A and B are shown apart, each in its own frame.
Chain A
Amino acid sequence: MKITLTLNRKRRTVDVSPLERLLDTLRGALGLTGTKEGCGEGECGACTVLLDGKPVNSCLVPTAQCSGAAITTIEGLAPRGKLHKLQRAFLECGGAQCGICTPGMILAASALPDRPTREQIRTGLAGNLCRCTGYEKIYDAVGVALGTKK
């Protein structure tokens, strides 16, 4: 079936089988491999994208459900190669090690309000697992980027 959606502010049409996961359409037909697969079951958040501005797990969303929707992937945060403030902060604060969780972390963080409290950061990222950093540097990076008071 043909599905038209807006991907990183551009309209795109893809031909998918009804149960194809958004994650596979993004990485396959649409050629954007910034979105990662960890568990494929909604547990880890590596596959996080924004669907109409809200973080969702692209491994649980059939592409067919996205007809008419706006999707933002990590590639959409840094158009023309200029890093987003969250990306810069992750670099500066050591918020990324192996990097598998990073695109999902950054997209989830991009949906937080300005100047979030540490608690809001922790809850907002509760669906994103990281096996490397121990989280503290990730929370630091998000705080720096979004203007959280020390």
Chain B
Amino acid sequence: MMRASPFSYFAPITIGEVAKILAGEGPRALLLAGGTDLIPNMKRRTQTPAVLVSLRRVAELRGLANGRIGSAMTLSSIAESPHLSPHRALIRAAAQVATPHIRNAATLGGNLCLDTRCNYYNQNYEWRQAIDFCMKRASDGGGHPVRNEDGVCWVAPGSPRCWAVSSSDTAPALIALGATVTLVSIAGRRELPLNDLYCDDGIAYLTKPSDELLTEVVLPDATGWRSTYWKLRRREAFDFPVLSVAAAVKLASDGTVLDARLVLGAVASHPLLIAEAQELVGMPLSDDAIERLAAAAARFAKPLDNTDFALGWRKRVARAYVTGALRELRGDDPATLGLLARRATALRPLS
């Protein structure tokens, strides 16, 4: 059962009204989109807003045309949208979030603003109390987590920061696709490359202030681009990512790479854009070039012991998944790719 203290609920109809309420209520308020992350978090008291602002009646947030996706579009409508099929990485990522039932309620905006996760934090109140909490803590009556100066990071004791993990599936995919986001507050609207929405911090994981709402995601023209998304999770039926690879390449007709982006998910507090992908430009996607980039990406993937599976193993799978994703974009036979994925995950450790 959820119990809430004295509490306000707003259900505005326009983006302007939402922005006004957020400005008036300050950090006590949180947006409620699909609620599939927020409601369980409120139950565990890791998010404790005093005011909820529902986006359900804001029709302006549900458009989809010309590469502009309203932030309140559900993940199932995105995964099934024929308009978005050129942006394959997004379709694949959206289709692998949680369960079909959750995707019917969950929104793109909520997925992009998803709280970072950690085995020591995504637990109920009593569990966290039993370990004296940690550095990341719910703020009293506030929606966003804050820094607990007395708390230790149980994953990296002695560390001055929180390493909770960015676990959104669509964020890495959309960064690989070169997406920007539109943010609105009473001060006006601004556009931002999606990558710049994220901070390398498990507590303050978004760069935007709490009075801004994300209204839409804007995708650039996909002509000439190919993209994909590979996700590692414990249960194939549904689970948060333990590692994900989003890759996009623009190829000339002779197969030369004109542009490339590679992003790893669930290995850091933010989606990890791998700058070395640019080294592919001007060459064909040869086995060597792919191997070099996969090795470089695995070096940057520094998973910590706060999600699932053994660290060293996750790092090895990172390398194999980058290789697999790029070979897929090159057009390799799906059967060999399937074999590669099975080999990479065959020696899965039990813990």
- The answer to whether B7 touches A40, judged by C-beta atoms less than 8 angstroms apart, is no
Choose from B1, B7, B56 the contact partner of A18 (Cβ within 8 Å).
B7
A61 to B300, CA, bound (A): 39
Using Cβ atoms and an 8 Å threshold, which residues of chain B touch A60?
A: 34-36, 39-40, 102, 105
B100 contacts partner chain A, Cβ-Cβ < 8 Å: yes
User: Contact check: which of B11, B34, B40, B102 meets A127 at CB < 8 Å?
Assistant: B102
Determine whether B58 belongs to the interface, using a CB cutoff of 8 Å to chain A: no
Partner of B105, one of A1, A56, A124: A56
Chain B, 46-86, contact with A by CB distance < 8 Å: what is the 0/1 string? Answer: 00000010101100000000000000000010000000000
- Tell me the count of chain B residues lying within 8 A, CB to CB, of chain A: 29
Cα A57 to Cα B39 in complex, Å, equals 12
Contact with B along A43-55 (1 / 0, CB 8 A): 0010010010011
Are A108 and B100 touching (Cβ within 8 A)?
A: yes
The yes or no answer to A141 lying at the interface (CB within 8 A) is no
- Residues from chain A with a CB closer than 8 A to the CB of B57 are 67
Q: Which A residues touch B11, using CB under 8 A?
A: 64, 67
CB pair A17–B104 under 8 Å, yes or no, is no
Q: Does B238 contact A (CB under 8 A)?
A: yes
Q: Are B9 and A18 in contact (CB under 8 A)?
A: yes
Task: Check A40 against B43 for contact (C-beta < 8 Å).
Answer: yes
Instruction: Determine how close the nearest CB of chain B comes to the CB of A71; give it in whole angstroms.
Output: 13
Give bound CA distance, A57 to B238, whole Å: 14
- Among B1, B35, B76, point to the contact of A24 (Cβ < 8 A): B1
Q: Which residues of A contact B36 (CB under 8 A)?
A: 42, 57, 60
Interface string of B23-46 (1 = CB under 8 A from A): 000000000101110011011000
A65 to B98, CA, bound (A): 20
B105 near A51: Cβ-Cβ < 8 Å:
yes
B2 interface hit (Cβ, 8 Å): yes
Which B residues are CB-close (under 8 A) to A123? Answer: 100
Residue A38 at the chain B interface, CB threshold 8 Å? no
A42 vs B54: C-alpha distance when bound (angstroms): 19
List B contacts of A108 (CB < 8 A). Answer: 100-101
Q: Are B238 and A127 in contact (CB under 8 A)?
A: yes
* Chain A window 1-35, contacts with chain B (Cβ cutoff 8 Å), 1 for yes, 0 for no: 10000000000000001110100100000000000
Is B2 a contact of A21 with CB atoms below 8 Å? yes
Question: Do residues B238 and A126 form an inter-chain contact, with CB atoms below 8 A?
Answer: yes
Nearest Cβ on chain B to A107's Cβ, whole angstroms = 9
- Determine whether B339 belongs to the interface, using a CB cutoff of 8 Å to chain A: no
Contact indicator A19/B98 (Cβ below 8 Å)? no
> CB of A62 within 8 A of chain B?
yes
The closest CB in chain B to the CB of A104 belongs to: B101
Which residue on chain A has the smallest CB distance to residue B35?
A60
Q: Which residues of B contact A19 (CB under 8 A)?
A: 2, 4, 7, 9, 42, 52
Q: How far, in Å, is B73 (CB) from chain A's closest CB?
A: 14
Distance in angstroms from A103 CB to nearest chain B CB is 13
> How far apart are A1's CB and chain B's nearest CB, in angstroms?
7
Q: A40 CA to B42 CA in the complex, in Å?
A: 12
- The verdict on A126 contacting B100 (CB below 8 Å), with A41-B43, A65-B32 known, is yes
A127-B54 in contact (CB<8A):
no
Residue numbers in A under 8 Å from B237 (CB-CB)? 126-127
Known contacts A19-B7, A65-B56; is-contact A54 B102 (Cβ 8 Å): no
Cα-based distance from A7 to B98 in the complex (angstroms): 26
Interface flags for B81-118 (1: CB within 8 Å of A; 0: not) read 00000000000000000111110110000000000000
Contact partners of B43 in chain A: CB under 8 A: 40-41
Residues of A close to B2: CB separation below 8 A: 19, 21
Instruction: State A19–B41 Cα separation when bound (angstroms).
Output: 13
Chain A residues 67 to 118 lying within 8 A of chain B, measured CB to CB, are 67, 108
Could you pull out 16 A-B pairs where Cβ atoms are within 8 angstroms?
Answer: A18-B4, A19-B9, A19-B52, A24-B1, A42-B36, A51-B104, A54-B104, A56-B104, A57-B99, A57-B102, A60-B39, A60-B105, A65-B56, A108-B101, A126-B237, A127-B238
If A19-B9, A65-B32 are given as contacts, then 6 extra A-B residue pairs at C-beta distance below 8 Å, sorted by A number, are A21-B39, A42-B102, A45-B101, A56-B104, A64-B11, A126-B237
The 9 closest A-B pairs by CB, nearest first: A127-B99, A18-B9, A54-B104, A127-B101, A126-B237, A55-B101, A19-B4, A56-B105, A60-B39
A residues in contact (CB < 8 Å) with B: 1, 17-19, 21, 24, 40-42, 45, 48, 51, 54-57, 60-62, 64-65, 67, 108, 123-124, 126-127
